[in-house]
Structure 1
């Protein structure tokens, strides 16, 4: 076999020659089988191998050539989208410890300014972080979190300049703007101050697997090497987090896996000794928050759709024996989240495929926050202080821009704090609906749809269908300034709430992961076929889009139902399932044995192998495809899509274009900056529209 990076088999789209990566013999061995992986050589954990970089650069050059005819359309789409952004926008200020905090963008800026004002929103501005200035000269820049000390004088923030989510914790004096000498590398965002204003607790990552492993305490002015170990998680199937309770009384360390959780807390005045809320137990998850003299606990203990329980400080004994029901479990209501206040609790619930909010007062009165649309997204907003009757929340739908409200839980009065400005957009010109699609096994799949008013359901339209369906993550319908450009060109946008999410409760998730994962893929395909049969779209004008685990979805449907799609867009796709899950050194692998399966188990190995997109590429016609990745992605390594594209090029029997774009300075979320993602979106949207024959 040749050892150069690639050969050129001949002319491709637009006369460009498609690079075909060299094949090199390699065996992926495991206790349950050995597989050939002729493109394994594309993996280079250092990201420096010249042969590998040459292969990626060849693909980028080919992408440039193939996409060159769409450049004018890309520019048009980008201008349309940016034209819908109020460039000098700012967030709704929220109050905390006497200050009003917010972020704002200056016109043309890629990054925000985070700031505050003391006492009132008209007081002089204090700039905390001018991220636009901080990002100058950096190919990638991200602030993962920032937090102010209890005495309001110091700022701690987590900064990433690579895109691999290995943040550096930094500090500054707010009044002078002077940075402190303290810097702590390789941390997770979300540091927490202790009440002494000099001790900071943070989560340290494993430098190889990037797993959150240890909680340490740093005292300002001392070397990081002297930081005290507060907690260490030995089980690599658990994620680790750190936060303060709503009443600010406790600092809590929480660990969670797909099927279990455990939480320990310490007084914020002296965060030296952690006390466990309840011990971990397989198939029992919980999270607790403190208000007044009691803990509020959300748990699935004997409650698949979760319930809220409570226990007073006096009866809290490190077990679940003293917990009592506050909100019992219901078969048709899934409790997703909650926020305690002094006089009430705000609860995020899912029912009928939508997330709604309700409040429960300490006296037992329950009230729902209403909506007038069939499909919507309603979520808790920032509620930093619990001693208020006002609940702040956001509302959006596929036609309604995000709107921030606050409602008085005592009087019922509602105030609109902000409607996200979208210049040139008229919500009355668009229609959203919710349909229920029968799956092949009888399940009913909710689908949120949006199109422009005047749309005719005559089976001629082009359609973009989006899906995810993993980790229990629910995809709620919200207006997108990018989607508007598609709707204005007569397209339909469909959001398929397939199994693997939790839109219909925990069972909806359970029926779409592990040994039922294929349900996610067949649900998506069944939605496509139903929408085509019911004349929402033409059979030969359907595009599909998914990213990360949604990219796995794209890879699976490409193999299973290629004739149902004209074009597929797979962003940072998780497509080499078995090889990744065999390698415990890869970030996320050990955390996700209960999501996908542990291939050390023969049944799990065989099941994952049956649907893994990379392993099931075969000689057949595939749709036109756009595949994107980031070289520094830590969530889905770049070499997964690189290998997948190489195998597709060598195997597929069609002449449909296959474009592979690698952002050489990006991570899992793409390049940084608020405008860059719209440039990326314009590129793949122009490719899609061209393939669908949509008027420009």
Structure 2
């Protein structure tokens, strides 16, 4: 059965009022924004809430004929999930830590068990799978904490060095403004003090009483101050440790690999700076190397030295250097693992007898093991397109390296390999009920962009698929911030593959799949490449017979929603459907407003619109500003009222203006989660209801047999 919806067959959509408003730039440019009134920072203005609710009611009407399909998709997706699943335990300071889910419940239980008597990861996994939890200590039962709340998330938790105290950060509306709470793990007592308005990043000092945390600006939500709280003392007396004056920098705190130091890291798009202090006496923090524009670095300490990943001295794809324990400048850095034009170093992990390096080459991830004697080896992979990376390796005194592996056909798998003997053990593969990997095929192809650049594309489809130009295709991409969209197993997508669809990930410029140049060629004044790459991949896939020209859908979220808005303006005829979640579509207005999160600290990603040339370039592609009188594809646009990353009013304004200009008859659905933020609703199953609604819309518009 198929069902196709057209706007002409539906009730009239909401018609947002137009209220003249001008947005002025410092250099004198003026733009009209008739829907600026939809911005309400407090999320309580009645006209705004009424409009969002009217759009939700319209979405209900559009989706009403597809309720059975939506329900079937939800049951399929959830039916593949093992409900009483658990994570792979890892050992730290004499305890094995893991999380587990209970059947029928939305949230995890964070727990641990003591080491000893032959306890190991495999044995604990087997016990958890069998429902045997003897000896378990529950740290947090999030199901209990979330009771009565529309949204709940534990962003981070930290156990004190003596294993007795727990600090955790909770968010109750999705805005990523966390509250820190404390628990005594010996007695189960919850302490009365709370710390509000912080990020989800917590570190204990060695005295087991002092907690370091990062305070957010209440308006912009930027990480601005590091403070320390002594348990049992008034929060008002918390000591300011460090304050960042430059609002283009993010901030985070951590402990080094050897537990000797607490570090404060600040970073912008193009620069980093790290401070360190002894964990046993964290008084004065020393700068490892002063910030310099276009010099990025991250560092860890182990074996009596600093190991630093950096792009300094022209190492665009990054290199590793070392520095002595007391280092205070770049002059003390010594090259160790050199820069290569064909290998991008993403990260590293330090062990007593070796170093593991996360790297990528030819748009594929791999793990390189560098041994103390200077020899090296790569961890092997068996598929043409896959994703591999370092897993949780909590302790350095081991010969066993844990890593994760997945592909578009292989569920996420955790392995450990003995770097001395080569022995490999499978610790766990994500259980997917009823799934048979042999029934699906993944491949990697290269599409040529209009400027001659070869774009890697990862594909998956059900075995027996014929490239005859008749199939429906869902093409996904992101293409910003240097974030690589690697080909990992996507459990919900199986429902599309089983209906004959093809799923493709376009590794377009703006990500970092092909190294730092790939990122640089898709940001700032090269941003247009991100959009044209996506369009050119679509046209190539159609030309090769992977899809019918009139059965292609594009999908992206957040900055990927910017991508969707741009391609819908530039090439609406190439897409039957556009799926856009929490989309960043009002680029210029947002970037002109320093009170909004992700603005001033992203000038080096998008440009500073206070400068005329950057303003003009961003204006040339901003989806909201480039909407025009033309026939647009069917669209499903989603947002969260409490989103702190991309404010709800961006997609709200976009849809309101789109409704005025669209000359076509394809439906436009705008769904606002009134109790959710950037990541959607909380709970592992609720998000699949949202996804099932979007997939039902997709299948109906592409005339896919249900």
TM-score interval, normalised by the smaller of the two chains: over 0.9
Name the structure, 1 or 2, with higher relative contact order (CA <8 Å, separation 6+).
Answer: 2
Deviation at 1:153, TM superposition (A): 0.4
Match of 1:294 in 2: 305
| Root mean square deviation of aligned Cα | 0.9
Number of residues paired by the alignment?
684
Pairwise CA distance, 1:688: 0.5
Distance 2:486 2:168 in 1: 30
Asked if 1:57 corresponds to 2:53, the answer is: yes
1:236 aligns with 2:247: yes
Partner secondary structure for residue 106 of structure 1: coil
> TM-score, structure 1 length as denominator?
0.98
Aligned pair partner of 1:430 in 435, 440, 445 = 440
For the residue of structure 2 that corresponds to 1:181, the secondary structure is coil
Map 1:499-538 → 2, pairs under 5 A:
499-538=509-548
Contact 1:620 1:653 in 2 (8 A): yes
2:364 maps to which of 354, 358, 370? 354
SS of the residue corresponding to residue 451 of structure 1 reads strand
Normalising by the residue count of structure 2, what TM-score does the alignment of the two structures yield?
Answer: 0.96
Equivalent residue in structure 2 for 1:309, among 321, 333, 351: 321
| CA–CA distance in structure 2, aligned partners of residues 406 and 317 of structure 1 | 34
Distance between the aligned counterparts of 1:504 and 1:12, measured in 2? Answer: 42
Q: Does 1:339 align with 2:339?
A: no
Structure 1 residue 396: deviation in Å? 0.0
- Is 2:70–2:692's contact at 8 Å kept on the other side of the alignment? yes
Superimposed CA distance per residue, residues 633-653 of structure 1 (whole angstroms, 9 cap, x where no aligned partner): 000000000000000001111
- Please state how far the C-alpha of 1:404 moved relative to its aligned partner: 0.3
* Separation of aligned partners in 2, 1:379 and 1:155: 29
Shift of 1:323: 1.2
1:210 aligns with 2:221: yes
What is the alpha-carbon distance in structure 1 between the residues aligned to residue 699 and residue 640 of structure 2?
Answer: 23
Matched, 1:684 2:694: yes
The match for 1:421 among 423, 431, 438 is: 431
Q: Quick one: distance in 1 between partners of 2:368 and 2:186? A: 41
CA drift at 1:12: 4.3
**C-alpha separation in 2, matches of 1:327 and 1:393:** 21
1:254 counterpart residue number:
265
For the 8 Å contact 1:402–1:419, the answer to whether it is kept is: yes
CA contact (8 A) 1:14 1:65 kept: no
Tell whether 2:69 aligns with 1:73: yes
1:174-232 C-alpha deviation (Å, 9 max, x unpaired): 12211011210011111100000000000000000000000001000111110001110
Could you say which residue in structure 1 is the equivalent of 2:185?
A: 174
Which among 92, 112, 123 is matched to residue 116 of structure 1?
112
Q: Note the alpha carbon deviations across 1:468-505, whole angstroms, 9 max, x for none.
A: 00000000101111100000000000000000000000
**2:667 alignment partner in structure 1:** 657
User: Quick check: 1:466 aligned with 2:461?
Assistant: no
Which residue is equivalent to 1:107? 103
2:131 maps to which residue?
Answer: none
Q: Does 1:85 align with 2:81?
A: yes
Q: Does 1:31 align with 2:26?
A: yes
Please state how far the C-alpha of 1:288 moved relative to its aligned partner: 0.6
Other-structure match for 2:574: 564
Per-residue deviation, 1:241: 0.5
- 2:559 aligned partner: 549
**Where do residues 271-670 of structure 1 align in structure 2 (5 Å cutoff)?**
271-302=282-313, 303-313=315-325, 316-670=326-680
Contact 1:572 1:638 in 2 (8 A): yes
SS of equivalent residue, structure 2 residue 414 = strand
Which sections of structure 2, spanning at least 5 residues, go unmatched? Answer: 1-5, 128-133
Task: Determine helix, strand or coil for the equivalent of 2:193.
Answer: strand
Does residue 1:44 correspond to 2:40, yes or no? yes
What displacement does 1:14 show? 4.2
Contact map agreement 1:671 1:677 (CA 8 A) in 2: yes
Cα distance in structure 2, aligned partners of 1:277 and 1:409? 31
In 1: Cα distance, 2:327 partner to 2:13 partner = 65
Larger deviation, residues 23-32 vs 526-535:
23-32
Task: Return closer, same or farther for 1:107/1:386 CA change in 2, 3 Å cut-off.
Answer: same
Query: Per the alignment, in what secondary structure is the counterpart of residue 85 of structure 2?
Result: coil
Measured after TM superposition, the shift of residue 31 of structure 1 is: 2.1
Q: CA deviation at 1:312?
A: 2.5
State the alpha-carbon separation in 2 of the partners of residues 415 and 346 from structure 1. 17
1:128 aligns with 2:139: yes
Decide which of 134, 141, 146 is 2:157's aligned counterpart. 146
Shift of 1:34: 0.3
Q: Structure 1: which 5+ residue stretches go unaligned?
A: 1-10
Q: Distance in 2 between matches of 1:94 and 1:635?
A: 32
- 2:344 & 2:489 partners in 1: Cα distance? 24
Q: 1:65 to 1:89 in 2, by over 3 A?
A: same
Q: Distance in 1 between matches of 2:510 and 2:662?
A: 29
> Which residue number corresponds to residue 183 of structure 1?
194
Alpha-carbon distance in 1 for matches of 2:312, 2:281: 31
After superposing on structure 2, the runs of 4+ consecutive aligned residues of structure 1 that deviate more than 4 Å are 11-14
3-state SS in 2 of match to 1:103? strand
- SS of 2:499's partner is coil
Note if contact 2:7-2:666 (Cα within 8 Å) is conserved in structure 1: no
> 1:258 touches 1:592 (CA, 8 Å); kept in 2?
yes
Deviations 1:68-113 (A, max 9, x none): 0111000000000001100000000000000000000000110000
CA contact (8 A) 1:307 1:328 kept: yes
